[in-house]
Amino acid sequence: MTDREIFESYRNDVYYLCYYMLKNAADAEDMCQETFIKAFRTDRSGIERIKPWLIRIAANLCKNHLERRQRGVLKELKHALLHGLQRSEAADQSLMRREGELELAGLFQALPIKIRQVVVLKYVHELTLGEIAESLDIPLGTAKSRLNKGLNLIKKRMDQQPQLDIKGVDYLE
């Protein structure tokens, strides 16, 4: 595949992974761009599956970015989830969906970064556990464990907040 074909095929996957991890559109765009720059400068002759490889690069760049932010190198930025996704739907449905997305973003934000990576890759990017393990360069058992822990943490938080309504969002279904 040419660089352009790779970019066209996987740009949305990489961008949304970055967006879910960083909770900021500008940072997600930067990390997405860095991912492709790094990928295009690398010899891809030994890479059999491009998507998990790109996802691993993006996840590592996002993780490093978050760690730098936590250390105080970067100032805290406002976060928004799924800003700009447009669907043709009734206004009340749109409002309910957006509220659900924001509540889901809060659930994701509460997860530790390593667990958040696995949950986002599974339910947002619909990767298999094998692909997640390969993308993050972790054992399959670790991916399963992190996914289970993430789902338990989300369930626990939802049980603590009975007013939480994510019916408009189908990520956990």
Which of 47-51, 124-128, 157-161, 164-168 has the highest average model confidence (pLDDT)? 47-51
pLDDT of residue 154: 79
With H, G, I as helix, E, B as strand and everything else as coil, classify residue 167. Answer: coil
2, two tokens:
């040419």
pLDDT of residue 95: 57
Mean pLDDT calculated for residue range 42-59: 90
* Residue burial 116-155, b: 16+ Cβ < 10 Å; e: rest: bbbbbbbbbbebebebbbbbbebeeeebeebbebbbebbe
What tens digit of pLDDT does each residue of 89-110 get? 555 555 565 655 556 666 777 7
What tens digit of pLDDT does each residue of 5-45 get? 999 999 999 999 999 888 889 999 999 999 999 999 988 88
Considering only CA atoms, which of 53, 12, 58 is closest in space to residue 34? 58
pLDDT of residue 127: 84
- Domains of the chain in start order, with CATH, are 1-80 (1.10.1740.10), 87-173 (1.10.10.10)
**Cα distance from N-terminal residue to C-terminal residue, the chain:** 34
pLDDT of residue 110: 78
pLDDT of residue 93: 59
